Amino acid sequence: MQIPEEMTPSRKNILIRLLYTLLYLLVFEIIKIIVQIAVVFQYIFLLITLDYSKPVRNFSNKLSTYAYDVIRYLTLNKNQRPFPFNDFPEPLEKPEERVVFR
C-alpha cells in the first residue's frame, strides 16, 4: 500500500519519535519495577490481613492502563504521547468486584 506523499514522515520526525520511544522504553522499565513492588506488597498485605489493599489495587489498575498506553505508543499503534506529555489515562476497566482464590 502506497502512502500518500503528504503523509510520508520525514527522517527528522522519525528520529524525534525514536528519541521519545527511547524515553518511554525507560519509563516502561520503571513501570515494571513499580508493578513488581505493588504485587509483592499486595500479597504480603493479603497474607497478613486476609484482605487486599484497595488503594494499591486501584493504583495498580490505573498503572496497567498507563502501561498499555505506553506499549501502544512504543509499538507505533498510537500517535499521542502518553503521560507526562498528556493526561494520565483513566482505567480501561473496573477491578473485579471480588477476588477469588482457587
Number of domains composing the chain: 1
Length reported for the chain: 102
Q: Is residue 28 part of a domain?
A: no
Cβ atoms < 10 Å from Cβ of 14: 10
- Structure pTM? 0.82
Judge whether residue 5 has pLDDT over 80.
Answer: no
- Spatial distance between the Cα atoms of 56 and 64, rounded to a whole number of angstroms: 12
Cβ atoms < 10 Å from Cβ of 70: 20
Q: Is residue 33 part of a domain?
A: no
Express each pLDDT in 42-76 by its tens digit: 999 999 999 999 999 999 999 999 999 999 999 99
Structural domain boundaries, residue 80: 39-92
Express each pLDDT in 8-18 by its tens digit: 889 999 999 99
pLDDT at 4: 67
Judge whether residue 2 has pLDDT over 70.
Answer: no
